[in-house]
Chain A
Amino acid sequence: MNTTSEVDLTARNQVPPSEADRQALEATWRDPAGLVGWFSAINHKTIGVRFIVTAFGFFVAGGLLAAVMRLQLARPQNTLVGPDLYNQLFTMHGTTMMFLFAVPVMQAMATYLVPLMVGARSIAFPRMNAFAYWLYLFGGLMLYIAFALNIGPDAGWFTYVPLAGPDFSPGKRVDFWAQLITFTEFSGLLEAVIVITTVFKLRAVGMTLNRIPLFVWAMLVTAFMVMFAMPAVMLTSTALILDRLVGTHFFNPAEGGDALLWQHLFWFFGHPEVYFIFLPGLGFMSAIIPTFVRRPIFGYSAMVLALIATAFLSFGLWVHHMFATNLPELGKGFFTAMSLMIAIPSAVQIFCWIATLWTGRIHLKTPLLFVLAFFFILVLGGMTGLMLAMVPLDLQVHDTYFVVAHLHYVLIGGAVFPLLGAIYYWYPKITGRLMNETMGRWNFWLFFIGFNTAFFPMHLLGMKGMPRRVYTYPAGMGWDTMNLVATVGAVTIAVSMLLFVINVWRSLRHGQVAGDNPWGAGTLEWATSSPPPAANFDALPVVHGREPLWEAAPEPTQVRGMATGQREVLVTTVVDARPDHRSVFPDSSIWPFISAVATTVLFVGSIFTPWAVVWASVPVAIALTVWFWPRRGETEREMLLEKSP
């Protein structure tokens, strides 16, 4: 055993499998070529990149909708867009950002990164992963096609009944919204199952629970939250569809239904949702800070416990969205206390990061800049969150621009800034090239300044009485200047995002070649080449510490004896990550795509007739049957492998 880390690391990286093995692995795990091959792709990196690009596509679309809204609000009584379009714009903006961008993009990043970070050959259930991606894409396209045809939803991303019910929203607009929820939640739940299974069963040998990278922890906790929160919104959106489509009365007070039931079920999902956008952001922070501060995170265990505590507490504060609905006093006190308490685990993480910065040596690059913005933006958003937790204050600022400011400080500061940092950070791993540093700094500063210009004045706007979701406002209310300033800020954000897109695009061809580990990071994804081979690692790594690339490691450093001619993965135990058994993963297949098309026909068809649920389930059943039908050749090869490994 070597004693110095330098020698050890070299030694580990210099025990490659033979070239023949490498080529065999590549041929086995690669997605097939050609057009049919393109639709058959199931490799988690292929799907991950498509997922990330699609999510950013929706981000840009949602951002453009916001830009139109800001232009409309730049002046009082502006007539750029009327109420009908404006109401569609803000509904589409909110729906896009929450359901088509913020939640999916985090799952997309996980789809790409988690297997690499835990040292696995593949994500769990790779075909289901492809299926989940296609469903998500088709759901998003459906929503945007509806919007393009001027039948986009217009009852808000929260779609309160009875406004969204059959009496006050006739037509199909709200149905598209409700079906979008079915699409994205279905996809989200599948992704949650996939992430949990990957993290629990496919970790590298030796990656015990207390050695899992914090980003992976964050995604694991998020996946559990998704599993518990999303059923509530699926249930309630289904009830809404039933009210609208077949005349049930879940939400109709005249027939014994209840309008408030919607709000409880929606926010029981809706508040945890904020945290499953936010927790992955925290994960990015904890992944990026150590690399650029040249030391492991301070307080790893506390960080993990804080993530878990946040997840639990986040299920106990949904009612703070409903303080204005005449609640019993005791209930209000409970939800105020819970909403204040959730600041504690966030504080734990913030203090631990500051301690990490305090005791480290700083390598200031664009990814770090983006995550450091968190300390200004998110912390400010957290402070206004405390104000919203307090019932008397909330009743003044609820549903005003104060809340608009708060939620953008939290979501953009807590998720989008870290996400952009994450893109700058992992882009070289994904593409093999670094993004342009100068453009990255321009991107950052324009975004940071533009963001604060756009959203800071909104705090004051809310205090000065401007409600949200208004398509215009009268002059002389003292709101004009601040609205104009906010619009200027929004335009600045648009410019910064344009720079970001250009940087991503240009760096694909012209970026500096990165090498395996351009930032000198300590986690497993940097141990393989950039971009990684189809099988992720030429030899499966064995892990001996929390930062495997930074620590001296004893032998063995890799797993030997895995099949190269089959998609064989090593399944490990949940707690200690000891080798448990080998499992053969499925080949690429077009049937997840076809199943997603069939499911889409069912979902979209059911907007127009309840019979679609009956008849369109036939093609779904056929597609799924073919998908899971065992192939004789595959089974024989697997049997062979069982006899002679």
Chain B
Amino acid sequence: MAARRWLARCVAAALAAAVRCNAGEPALGAQSQDALRSAGPQASQVLDLWLLTLGICTAVFAAILVAFVWALWRAPRASAGTPADTTGLTQVEHRPRRVVIVALGASTVLLFVLLVASVSTDRSLAQLVLRDAVHIEVTAHQWWWSARYDNEEAAKTFTVANELHIPVGRPVIMTLRSDDVIHSLWVPNLAGKKDLIPGRTATLTLRADRPGVYRGQCAEFCGAQHAWMAFLVHAEPAAQYEAWVARQREPAATPVAERALRGRQVFLQSTCVMCHAIGGSGAGGQRGPDLTHLAGRTTLAAGALANDAAHLAAWITDPSAFKPGTNMPGHVLPPDDLQALVAYLGTLE
């Protein structure tokens, strides 16, 4: 185990140096979607395994290349007319045979090391302590995510879309379902991926040990907008997380400003309510993302757009311009109504 750690550390240092010189790196703390920057025990155990494997494989690769290049280097040159040396057909070539057998033995041993490392990592991934876990039921849709935070008291259960918040240091159990086709949930900084398959239920367990915003993305091709089926995981200190949970449990407040009130009316009188829910407003559509606390999110349309008034207005008017093939139809509203609607949605903190 000590040797493995030591090897892992050596390779880590080399790799980190290689990674750092890569341009266009997002600053830490910004959204990160990177299996090489683990933020929790699941991802970091995989990273250890990766470094070990990388070390062994690089060594073997180098050895093969050296043998190969050396063979080319030392062999005398010939031409098409050089008579072929056919002694190998009649005599056993003892020396090369010994070398091949030894190389084969060594390869087998190394493969066995990899097998043991893989199985033991898999075991320890399965042994994440789940005491005091947060339960989230994630459902994938073409092309967005909904997440229900369960609680024993039905009234304390709430639903969010495309952005999850989790407490740092507490395990999270995600129950995974799909509403339509196969999707795959993947937050590389936190854990490996798991498919969401219609007709089946899967479970993903993870824990974030470092606060931050981690981006995830659907990893199984799921149709036209597979590319824009992202989501964010905000890993926060306990107090901040609890405050967020408390806010999510509240229904949306009826706005006071006149314009926003008008926007609320536009929302409730248009086809928006067929698909979207806003807690406390009476709108209870289930086909699209829940909008109760829309303004608290950083992105729109599963990571496709920044969440600001201009993007929101453009998205409502013509979603296909940003996500061709999306299931949300465009709504051409009179400019006043549109501005009012955006103002109302902006109040849904």
Which residues from chain A sit less than 8 Å from chain B, CB to CB? 5, 82-84, 87, 155-156, 160, 162-163, 167-168, 253-254, 258-260, 290, 293-296, 298-299, 302, 324-326, 329, 332-333, 336-337, 340-341, 343-344, 347-348, 350-352, 354-355, 357-364, 372, 375-376, 379-380, 383-384, 386-387, 389-400, 460, 463-465, 467-474, 476-482, 518-520, 522, 545-547, 550-551
Contacts and interface: CB of A to CB of B under 8 A. Distances in A.
Given A358-B96, A390-B114, A467 B78 contact: no
Contact of B115 (A259, A340, A468, A551): A340
Interface string B45-82: 11001100110011011001101101110111111111
A155 B81 CA distance: 54
From B53, B93, B227, residue with most partner A Cβ within 10 Å? B227
Interface stretch (B186-194, B241-249, B277-285, B290-298): B186-194
Which secondary structure characterizes the binding site on chain B?
Answer: mixed
Nearest to A517: B80
A392 B225 CA distance: 27
From A364, A391, A396, residue with most partner B Cβ within 10 Å? A396
B7 interface: no
B49 A324 contact: no
A232 B336 CA distance: 60
Given A354-B68, A392-B46, A393-B49, A336 B217 contact: no
A254 B199 CA distance: 7
A344 B76 contact: no
Given A294-B82, A294-B84, A551-B89, 5 more contacts: A361-B76, A392-B118, A480-B24, A481-B22, A545-B89
B202 interface: yes
Contacts of B65: 375-376, 379
Nearest to A519: B80
Given A163-B223, A467-B217, A399 B193 contact: yes
B308 interface: no
A464 B36 contact: yes
Contact of B84 (A337, A400, A471, A520): A520
A547 B71 CA distance: 23
B199 A253 contact: yes
Contacts of B103: 347, 351
Contact of B99 (A162, A355, A477, A547): A355
B53 A363 contact: no
B124 to A, nearest CB: 9
Contacts of B325: 83-84
A295 to B, nearest CB: 4
A408 B61 CA distance: 17
B217 A465 contact: yes
Nearest to A357: B71
A197 B33 CA distance: 54
B104 A347 contact: yes
Contacts of B200: 253, 259-260, 326
Interface string B152-190: 000000000000000000000000000011101010100
A96 B341 CA distance: 48
Contacts of B118: 336, 389-393
Contact of A463 (B36, B67, B218): B36
A63 B282 CA distance: 54
B77 to A, nearest CB: 6
Interface in B233-257: none
A81 to B, nearest CB: 11
B67 to A, nearest CB: 5
B111 A340 contact: yes
Interface size class of B (residues with CB under 8 A): 35 or more
Contacts of A551: 86, 89
A240 to B, nearest CB: 14
A295 B85 contact: yes
Contact of A386 (B81, B114, B188, B223): B114
B316 interface: no
From B30, B67, B88, B325, residue with most partner A Cβ within 10 Å? B88
A325 B36 contact: no
B318 interface: no
Nearest to B78: A361
Given A336-B119, A359-B96, A341 B35 contact: no
Given A361-B76, A392-B122, A545-B89, A473 B227 contact: yes
B10 interface: no
Contact of A392 (B19, B104, B111, B125): B125
B107 A344 contact: yes
Given A298-B88, A343-B107, A347-B103, A465 B49 contact: no
B224 A84 contact: yes
Contact of A520 (B81, B89, B194): B81
Contacts of B198: 162, 253, 259
Given A298-B96, A375-B68, A481-B24, A347 B107 contact: yes
From A295, A296, A479, A482, residue with most partner B Cβ within 10 Å? A295
B192 A481 contact: no
B324 interface: yes
A344 B81 contact: no
A455 to B, nearest CB: 15
Given A326-B200, A360-B75, A295 B115 contact: no
Nearest to B97: A299
Given A324-B194, A354-B68, A463-B36, A337 B115 contact: yes
A358 B75 contact: yes
A226 to B, nearest CB: 27
Given A324-B195, A354-B71, A467-B186, A83 B227 contact: yes
Contacts of A463: 34-36, 50
A470 B80 CA distance: 49
A340 B109 CA distance: 11
B197 interface: yes
Contacts of B50: 387, 393, 396, 463
B289 interface: no
Contacts of A336: 115, 118-119
Contacts of A465: 33-35, 188, 215, 217
A622 to B, nearest CB: 43
B206 to A, nearest CB: 12
B6 interface: no
A153 B278 CA distance: 39
30 contacts: A162-B198, A259-B197, A259-B199, A295-B88, A296-B86, A302-B100, A326-B194, A326-B203, A332-B122, A333-B122, A336-B115, A354-B71, A358-B70, A361-B75, A375-B68, A383-B61, A392-B45, A393-B118, A395-B46, A399-B186, A399-B219, A460-B19, A464-B35, A467-B217, A468-B221, A477-B26, A477-B215, A478-B26, A479-B24, A520-B80
A343 B22 contact: no
Contact of A87 (B49, B111, B122, B224): B224
B209 interface: no
Contacts of B96: 298, 355, 358-359
Contact of A295 (B86, B202, B224): B86
Please provide the 4 A-B residue pairs with the shortest distance between their CB atoms, ordered closest to farther.
A253-B199, A395-B192, A465-B33, A470-B227
Contacts of B76: 361-362
Nearest to A85: B324
Nearest to B221: A469
A547 B107 contact: no
A182 to B, nearest CB: 23
B89 A547 contact: yes
Given A293-B75, A392-B121, A351 B104 contact: yes
B286 interface: no
A481 B26 CA distance: 13
A386 B57 contact: yes
Contacts of A395: 46, 191-194
A467 B218 contact: yes
A634 B218 CA distance: 64
B303 interface: yes
B100 to A, nearest CB: 4
A383 B77 CA distance: 31
